[in-house]
Structure 1
């Protein structure tokens, strides 16, 4: 596996990975209506443009195996871990851990005191194993559909 900084040329593969992952991996914890509100095909073209801009502004990494995107993650300069997704066929292989290791290392270099994230029900155990603590359970709404996720935080030690 190779981890590289985000490049614009990876954006379409990243957005496709996002849709596939949400609709397969997260299906164990969310209803069909929630999955479609979270990741609807109609937004794909818009998401490509918006995510290209935000991934270029953030600290963003892409995991590749044999030139195929198998995961990605990004962190704002203020310490918000915005996105972490691993391809549905590559779950449990250490890809998410490798990506978050890179982001946490960058946070340390930038003297960020803590990292926060909004974790799905599916991702919560992963973040807990890495030392993130639940600040609160929250209900968010997208397109009139309600979801549960968790505000989580991890203190960064220098």
Structure 2
């Protein structure tokens, strides 16, 4: 995998790549923070391509590519809310998340957002903290009858 991270807009046709990135990030990338039952409740047993295709029709965001292959994605709305932020475990630590976050910040500022918000997993929390975010509160949420910990976070846009 090369060092260059290219960012482009997310399109509905990315549903296969987005589904794969999400599935791998949840099932492999969060092993140290969530147990098997939690990862299964969050990520499902298989990649639901129909669901991802439908979801992407209503989302704005960005895809990160390395050597032409999608390795991460962020979704963001005009208020600055980042709903989804996932990077393939094999691409973590390579600047993919940082590049996606910079593009999301730029996009949100252009639309008049004053801050970014998200609900970060225990794995994503350190990334966001390192990039100037603050924890608003820790919370527990249910997924398919299983409880998961996460953090509401925000970052002011200057």
Q: Is 1:54 the counterpart of 2:58 in the alignment?
A: yes
Partner of 2:80: 79
Partner of 1:156: 157
Q: Tell me the CA shift for residue 78 of structure 1.
A: 1.5
TM-score (normalised: structure 1): 0.92
TM-score (normalised: structure 2): 0.92
Question: Per-residue CA shift, 1:89-108, capped at 9, x if unaligned?
Answer: 11100000000000001111
RMSD between superposed Cα atoms in Å: 1.3
8 Å contact from structure 2 (residues 62, 75) kept in 1 = yes
5+ long unaligned stretches in structure 2 = none
5+ long unaligned stretches in structure 1 = none
Say which SS state the counterpart of residue 57 (structure 2) adopts: helix
* Equivalent residues in 2 for 1:1-150, closer than 5 Å: 1-41=5-45, 44-55=48-59, 58=60, 60-150=61-151
How far apart, in 2, do the equivalents of 1:51 and 1:41 lie? 18
How far apart, in 1, do the equivalents of 2:55 and 2:98 lie? 22
Q: Tell me the CA shift for residue 33 of structure 1.
A: 0.4
Question: Per-residue CA shift, 1:66-96, capped at 9, x if unaligned?
Answer: 2211111011112111111111111100000
How far apart, in 2, do the equivalents of 1:97 and 1:7 lie? 20
